[in-house]
Structure 1
Amino acid sequence: MPHSMISDYSKRLQARILYLVGPPEEVTLENRIFNSMCLIAILVSAVQIPFNYFTGLKMTGLLFGVLLLALAVLYYLSRFKNRASLSIAISVITVNLLFGMVYFVSSGISGASLMTFTLTFFLVMIVSPRGQYIWWLGFNLLLVAALVLTEYYYPELVPNMYPDRQSKMVDLSATYLTSVLVIFFGTLYLKNAYNREKQQGEEKTRVLEVMNTEKNKLFSIISHDLRSPMASIQSYLELMKDIQLPAEQKLQLEAELLQMVNNTQDMLYNMLLWSKTQLQGLTVHLSPVNVYHAVMPVLEINTSLITNKGLHLETRIDQTLMAMADLNMLQLIIRNLIGNSIKFTAPGGHIFIEASRQGKECLITIRDTGTGIDAKRAHEIFSLKARSTFGTSNEKGIGLGLYLCKEYTAAQHGRIWFENNADQGCSFYLVFPLA
């Protein structure tokens, strides 16, 4: 059989088992274990029915048939009706009582009943909540003690049901083999489940530690970068109070302060959005959005920055282009990308914005003739590890904008990437589904 066919069959088998046991994201570990144990017990009972019948223990085979039906009902309640706690309690009592009846029709202590009770208790301890352990232990011990004492004082109630010595040997050997296999696979399943949960817990811990470290670095940068514009504004106001500046110098200082305040405002806005995302999660409202009407207000807000820096802006946007997106998120992404182009493009440079249809998708391109992106930083440009650098006019940010762009684009089922241009600068690409 080809390797690809074996692999495909293995994947289908794993998917089927996962469905029968329950997906981890929907079913708790304890419930998955109980469902697994039910399936194993159903399989064991299905084997025991014909086995006991042909070894002469017809009544035992009948009781295993009853057990099979009971287990099937309990499994259905647990897996498909979300009544796992009730199913566990009923199954423990039912199985023990049924095995108590089996004790009297399978030669009592001379048969395989005690091994069966041992196996049953093992399964009970696996699936039961921690707070019930002592109760099920007492129940098992009392039931077995009652059965053994009954046989001791009333041996006639427990006749020898084996037709010959060979049948007894086969029954004991088969019960031992079944018990060992169930304990082996049950323990293996438990260890794998424990290791899997442990690994997931460790991975979550590592992720939280990394995020906490990045958050601390981010706040440190913010606290540092906020001092600069606030100090400049304070110095300017004190200067205006004490000295009468020439009109030309006053206009120059005001332009510089305006740019600084705008950059600080963008930084705080990104920070507030990121904080809201961390606390409340992303809330996305997808609807048909006219790309032209979404982009133009962002350009109008940045007109003064583009003019003051002497940049040339060119747009080529299909005014009928409709994308399936969240308007506020889309404008945030466009604003950050345009802000970066303004920041890293030297006076006299060009910024190009284009939006067009590409098959069943909308492609938005923001290209500039700026400094481009260092290849060494390319792998971290969309992460919190990215550290902002000074722009061509000493503009400063915190490196959070592109991280938000990546997160918000993915939330809208879009894609974002960048390429350094062959001549100068870089190009950012956004793709969203057409409305």
Structure 2
Amino acid sequence: MFLSAKRNLSPLLKKLSYRLIGEPTEFSLENRIFNTICLIAVFILAFNVPYNYLTGLKVTALIFSVLVIAFAGIYYLSRFHKKLNTSIALSVIVVNVLFAVNYFFSGGIQGASLLSFTLAFFLTMLISPRSQYAWWLIVNLVVVIGLITYEYYFPGSAPSVYDTREDLFADMTPTYITNVIVIFIGTVYLKNAYKKEKERGEEKTRSLELMNAEKSKLFSLISHDLRNPLASIQSYLQLIREVELDAADKAQIEGELLYVVNNTQEMLYNILVWSKTQMEGPNINLVPVNVATALEPILQITRMAVVKKNIDFKAEIDTAVDVLADINMLQLIIRNLLGNAAKFTPAKGTIEVSTSKQGNNCRIEIKDSGTGIRQQEDIFSLKVRSTFGTDNEKGVGMGLYLCKEYTIAQNGKIWYQNNPEGGSSFFLELPLAG
């Protein structure tokens, strides 16, 4: 029960943390650290206001009250207006000026002011850009050494404010404890933030390496797999130019040339879609789509494409079924699945497309009597090596990868099976609309 409550509480604390210091996607690490320190500073200063007042340091209590208001305003400027550099400069100036004034009202070198300056400098270094480190070091040293020097030559400028020895200990002890706790929290927070940023950077590096590997593989496939269809087109065009052909031979060659061009166009379209997705991310528009209407143009093209191989093509589509889908993604998936079926189905084979309702989903099945799937591992990834079809058709091996990616983007499922009687079946399930 305790673990369950802890799991439920963790997302709430994370959400509250992001609300207070900013989302990692919107605010830099430095900005989030500064916002955190501002909140801690407001809490500590607010706590010290009544404490200093009760221990007799009324001026110090007043100064800390001003600091509470100042840091609340600086936090607002940083968190809600994202003015980080301005906020850092204001916070350092306000702290040094007010701590310098407080120095003369809290016992000077005998009081807790130097400990406060030390803590302020630590927090300054924690939140400042590296380019400002030397500047803030000089400011801190000049202010502190200047105050000490002034008090040394003018001893009466910082009179003792502690009536008893107990008052001195009552001021110094909590100030030291506060400094140590803040330094501890700041260091732990900074290390954790650094670790998370490092892990995020390593994850991005791994993603980039994977993407580069995929791109290298893709370019290798393109250079190899587009060579054959282009060579075929060149040969056909050369033959038509150099040899006088009768009408029948010319019609046959033109039909084959059109078939090669269509296959090559399909390859290039897949490459274009993949490239656009990699650069811009998938553009998904999920709306109610009538399956029969969406599939009809794809089925018409497939009927014409399989004529060359004398494949028997059948389609049984329920005209009353609507799915929640992106029509362009749905058509790309079906076009690739039908293209693969045509590619690996021999002459006089069969391809069947059918739809059925499965609970709240519509299942689209594409069944063929082809060669089946021999290379079954990672078939939906770019790791798969494309093979030649029954009529030497060739692809770049990314059609099924796109099918998988676009199916997931539409909250669907896709899988396949080798049929006992031969060939294979691919199944696509998408949620029913309404």
What TM-score results when the alignment is normalised by the length of structure 1?
0.89
Partners in 1 of 2:330 and 2:45 — Cα distance? Answer: 60
Q: Deviations over 1:11-44 (max 9, x none)?
A: 3223322321111011111110101111111222
Instruction: Give how far 1:428 is off.
Output: 2.4
Equivalence map 1:328-339=2 (5 Å): 328-339=328-339
Structure 2 residue aligned with 1:429: 428
Structure 2 residue aligned with 1:174: 174
Structure 1 residue aligned with 2:33: 33
Q: Any conservation in 2 of the 1:37–1:123 contact (CA below 8 Å)?
A: yes
Q: Deviations over 1:148-199 (max 9, x none)?
A: 1222222222111123212322322222222122112212222222222222
Is 1:154 paired with 2:118? no
Instruction: Give how far 1:298 is off.
Output: 0.7
Structure 2 residue aligned with 1:415: 412
Structure 1 residue aligned with 2:111: 111
Amino acid in structure 1 at the alignment position of 2:49: I
**SS in structure 2 of the partner of residue 302 of structure 1:** helix
Q: Any conservation in 2 of the 1:337–1:428 contact (CA below 8 Å)?
A: no
Amino acid in structure 1 at the alignment position of 2:45: S
**SS in structure 2 of the partner of residue 71 of structure 1:** helix
Instruction: Give how far 1:283 is off.
Output: 3.3
Partners in 1 of 2:239 and 2:278 — Cα distance? Answer: 41
Structure 2 residue aligned with 1:193: 193
Equivalence map 1:371-382=2 (5 Å): 371-374=371-374, 376-377=376-377, 380-382=378-380
Partners in 2 of 1:264 and 1:252 — Cα distance? Answer: 19
Instruction: Give how far 1:55 is off.
Output: 3.1
Structure 2 residue aligned with 1:217: 217
Aligned CA distance change for structure 1 residues 276 and 144 (closer, same or farther; 3 Å): same
Structure 1 residue aligned with 2:47: 47
Q: Any conservation in 1 of the 2:286–2:324 contact (CA below 8 Å)?
A: yes
Equivalence map 1:53-72=2 (5 Å): 53-72=53-72
Structure 1 residue aligned with 2:389: 391
Range that drifts further, 210-219 or 4-13: 4-13
Aligned CA distance change for structure 1 residues 223 and 192 (closer, same or farther; 3 Å): same
Is 1:183 paired with 2:180? no
Q: Any conservation in 2 of the 1:329–1:408 contact (CA below 8 Å)?
A: yes
Equivalence map 1:121-270=2 (5 Å): 121-240=121-240, 255-270=255-270
Aligned CA distance change for structure 1 residues 369 and 155 (closer, same or farther; 3 Å): farther
Q: Deviations over 1:342-364 (max 9, x none)?
A: 22233444333234555555443
Instruction: Give how far 1:408 is off.
Output: 3.1
Range that drifts further, 103-112 or 391-400: 391-400
Range that drifts further, 234-243 or 12-21: 234-243
How many residue pairs match? The answer is 432
Is 1:405 paired with 2:403? yes
Instruction: Give how far 1:295 is off.
Output: 0.5
Partners in 1 of 2:426 and 2:182 — Cα distance? Answer: 61
- How many percent of aligned residue pairs carry the same amino acid? 53
Amino acid in structure 1 at the alignment position of 2:147: L
Amino acid in structure 1 at the alignment position of 2:411: G
Aligned CA distance change for structure 1 residues 375 and 65 (closer, same or farther; 3 Å): farther
Structure 2 residue aligned with 1:272: 272
Q: Any conservation in 2 of the 1:370–1:426 contact (CA below 8 Å)?
A: no
Equivalence map 1:316-395=2 (5 Å): 316-356=316-356, 361-374=361-374, 376-377=376-377, 380-395=378-393
Partners in 2 of 1:41 and 1:147 — Cα distance? Answer: 23
Aligned CA distance change for structure 1 residues 414 and 14 (closer, same or farther; 3 Å): closer
Q: Deviations over 1:277-327 (max 9, x none)?
A: 334443344444332121010111111222332333332323233334333
**SS in structure 1 of the partner of residue 351 of structure 2:** strand
Instruction: Give how far 1:250 is off.
Output: 6.5
Aligned CA distance change for structure 1 residues 361 and 106 (closer, same or farther; 3 Å): farther
Range that drifts further, 28-37 or 339-348: 339-348
Partners in 2 of 1:188 and 1:167 — Cα distance? Answer: 32
Aligned CA distance change for structure 1 residues 60 and 314 (closer, same or farther; 3 Å): same
Range that drifts further, 320-329 or 107-116: 320-329
Amino acid in structure 2 at the alignment position of 1:278: Q
Partners in 2 of 1:75 and 1:66 — Cα distance? Answer: 14
**SS in structure 1 of the partner of residue 385 of structure 2:** coil
Partners in 1 of 2:194 and 2:329 — Cα distance? Answer: 41
**SS in structure 2 of the partner of residue 418 of structure 1:** strand
Q: In structure 1, list runs of 5 or more residues that go unmatched.
A: none
Amino acid in structure 1 at the alignment position of 2:427: F
Amino acid in structure 1 at the alignment position of 2:425: C
Amino acid in structure 2 at the alignment position of 1:428: F
**SS in structure 1 of the partner of residue 306 of structure 2:** helix
**SS in structure 2 of the partner of residue 298 of structure 1:** helix
**SS in structure 2 of the partner of residue 308 of structure 1:** coil
**SS in structure 2 of the partner of residue 105 of structure 1:** coil
**SS in structure 2 of the partner of residue 353 of structure 1:** strand
Range that drifts further, 209-218 or 44-53: 44-53
**SS in structure 2 of the partner of residue 323 of structure 1:** strand
Partners in 2 of 1:287 and 1:66 — Cα distance? Answer: 57
Partners in 2 of 1:155 and 1:190 — Cα distance? Answer: 40
Structure 1 residue aligned with 2:301: 301
Q: Deviations over 1:335-384 (max 9, x none)?
A: 1111112222334443332345555554433333434444741xx23322
Q: In structure 2, list runs of 5 or more residues that go unmatched.
A: none
Range that drifts further, 120-129 or 326-335: 326-335
Amino acid in structure 1 at the alignment position of 2:173: S
